[in-house]
Structure 1
């Protein structure tokens, strides 16, 4: 069971883990041992996620999300399979926690009369400066 928040847990049967050989330095160990973890979590069809959270997670424009709504995380930072597995689960939890935050609605406001007046005065001043640059007296 992966605990995300006090009221949100994801059962292990919803997570699909695949162990593959990692890339990078490591000599023969890299060629022999499958230490990298590819963790897949089907956000679109997960019964443990509330509907608003699912919608927010799927709306994220994240390259790790497939078109079918499956989140694919690859972890190969560490030398051991266990530590990479923990790392992938921690990153999944962080991704879901980021979706728990509901953004506040922006309230549209209008500029005050004073702000409009200051803007127009500034524009008028710039216009005058530029007009003075081009004026030529050829007397």
Structure 2
């Protein structure tokens, strides 16, 4: 009976999926020395130098205070530099930060292949689309 509640509860099902995919992502990005979230943040900063904290928060669906902590760690690692422009804090990749873009993209490819091998490529894409759409609806 208890299994029924867990198997039919979106909260528990999504958390189970999150734990599994997080473990896979951490392994995929181990080579970069970054967490998956730090890697995604770095991709945004490299692709859009001068991106603001609020844009990072919006893109990553995280709170500004969380973005500040993530960026702080990347500044300490020498991968990002902050520049103030009035009240805004803009983020730029350092030369060292830009140099790891290939490793980051390789990490995403490793992750894609890892879960595609288990779920199937088309099933993985369909699941991603479904979860993305559900997330958008639930955020509103």
TM over 0.5: no
TM-score range (shorter-chain normalised) is: under 0.3
TM-score between the two structures when normalised by the length of structure 1: 0.25
User: As a proportion of its length, which structure holds more strand?
Assistant: 1
User: As a proportion of its length, which structure holds more helix?
Assistant: 2
TM-score between the two structures when normalised by the length of structure 2: 0.25
Higher relative contact order (CA 8 A, sep 6+): 2
